[in-house]
């Protein structure tokens, strides 16, 4: 792991590059459409979070490196960025016990990553955030 | 981004295949303007939708805040999308068929 690497810039238009790369990865490894959809969703939410919040100067270009691979039958995704330290495992869960009117909209992307993944781990090494997500094939 | 049909006192919004972050950026403004103008219950027609991101969930909650609880429903939702909506807790606030 990783078997494939996709390098993106911190620009929202790069989500299309990610989508195409995942379609190719899914076809090459005979993954079901639902598996590809869930991988895409988890990675899109992680990448969007990096693009929006990881860099103080959003005009500066940075690389976001995505690793795609397998361990036994589990899909392993790795997301690496050089932004400010951020461990999504420390983010609060959205509050679902309020009325719709009172509900604070935010944190839903991170909530989806945690719920769709089998396991999520984070570490910071050499000034980089490294998020590793394991997902079962559907 | 969406087709809008006014029928039976409701506004039906028919979406395309992907409601990802990029598509939702342009959809959000257009949709909320339309809803404020119509002031009627809203139905999201999800028949063609194959993919949603959290930005669409955000739109669902914003529309619910605008039209009031019980006045937004999602119809023709496929099982994978239903799974994501349930994980996100949207089904606690919005009718999903």
Predicted confidence (pLDDT) per residue in B34-53, tens digit: 998 888 999 999 999 999 99
Chain A residues with beta carbon closer than 8 angstroms to that of B22: 12-13, 15-16
> Which residues, at least 6 apart from B43, have a Cβ–Cβ distance to it below 8 Å?
B10, B11, B12, B13, B72, B73, B74, B75
pLDDT tens for A8-44 read 999 999 999 999 999 999 999 999 999 999 999 999 9
- A residues 24-43 lying closer than 8 A (beta carbon) to B: 34, 37-38, 40-41
Query: Which of A52, A108, A116, A137 is most worth mutating to test chain B (most B CB atoms within 10 A of its CB)?
Result: A108
Q: Tell me, what's the pLDDT at B48?
A: 97
Model confidence over A59-116: pLDDT tens digits?
999 999 999 999 988 999 999 999 999 999 898 877 666 666 666 667 889 999 999 9
pLDDT at position A138 over 70: yes
Share of chain B above pLDDT 90, in %: 73
Instruction: Say if residue B89's pLDDT is above 90.
Output: no
CB contact residues (below 8 A), chain B span 7-36, against chain A:
20-22, 25
**What is the domain partition of chain B in residue ranges?**
2-96
pLDDT, position A98: 64
Look up residue A95 and give its two tokens: 């509050």
Cis bond before residue A2 (omega within 30° of 0): yes
Query: Where does the pLDDT of residue A50 fall: very low under 50, low under 70, confident under 90, or very high at 90 and above?
Result: very high
Residue B27: the pLDDT is: 94
Residue A137, token pair as written in the block: 């094939």
Cα angle: A130, vertex A74, A8; to 5 degrees: 40
Least confident of B13-22, B58-67, B73-82: B58-67
Q: Which CATH fold would you assign to the domain B2-96?
A: Transcription Regulator spoIIAA (3.30.750)
Q: What distance in Å separates the CA atoms of residue A8 and residue A16, rounded to the nearest whole number?
A: 10
Quick one: pLDDT band at residue B1, thresholds 50, 70, 90?
Answer: confident
**DSSP states of A38-71 as a string?**
HHHHHHHHHHHHHHHHS-SSTTS--EEEEEEEEE
Taking CA–CA distances from A34, the nearest residue in chain B reads B80
Chain B CB contacts of A8 under 8 Å are none
Three-class SS state of B85: helix
On whether the CB atoms of residues B67 and B34 are closer than 8 A, the answer is: no
Answer for the pair B51, A45: CB distance below 8 angstroms, yes or no: no
CB atoms within 10 A of CB B65: 17
Distance CA A46, CA A81 (A): 10
- Predicted local confidence at residue B8, as pLDDT: 87
Distance, in Å, from the CA atom of A64 to the CA atom of B51, rounded to the nearest integer, reads: 23
> The pTM is what?
0.93
* ipTM given for this complex: 0.92
Q: How many Cβ atoms are within 10 Å of A24's Cβ, its own excluded?
A: 14
* DSSP 8-state symbol, B1: -
Residue A44 to residue B69, Cβ atoms within 8 A? no
Q: How many residues does chain B have?
A: 97
Query: Is the pLDDT reported for residue A127 higher than 70?
Result: yes
Nearest CA in chain B to A108: B54
């Amino acid at each position: 792991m990783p078997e494939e690497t996709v390098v993106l810039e911190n620009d929202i238009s790069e989500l299309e590059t990610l989508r195409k790369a995942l379609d190719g990865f899914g076809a090459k490894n005979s993954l079901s459409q639902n598996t590809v959809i869930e991988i895409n969703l988890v990675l899109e939410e992680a990448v969007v979070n990096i693009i929006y919040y990881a860099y103080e100067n959003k005009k500066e270009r940075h690389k976001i490196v995505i690793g795609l691979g397998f361990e036994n039958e589990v899909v392993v995704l790795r997301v690496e960025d050089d932004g400010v330290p951020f461990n999504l495992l420390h983010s609060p869960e959205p509050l679902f016990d309020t009325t719709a009117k009172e509900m604070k909209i935010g944190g839903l992307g991170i909530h989806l990553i945690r719920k769709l993944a089998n396991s999520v781990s984070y570490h910071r090494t050499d000034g980089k955030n490294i998020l590793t997500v394991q997902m079962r094939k559907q | 981004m969406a087709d809008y049909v006014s029928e039976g006192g409701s506004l039906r919004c028919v979406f395309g295949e992907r409601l990802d972050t990029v598509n939702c950026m342009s959809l959000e403004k257009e949709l909320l303007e339309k809803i404020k103008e119509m002031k009627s219950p809203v139905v999201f027609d999800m028949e063609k939708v194959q993919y949603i991101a959290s930005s669409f969930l955000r739109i669902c909650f914003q529309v619910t805040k605008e039209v009031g609880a019980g006045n937004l429903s999602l119809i023709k939702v496929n099982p994978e999308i239903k799974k994501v909506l349930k994980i996100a807790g949207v089904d606690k606030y919005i009718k999903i068929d």
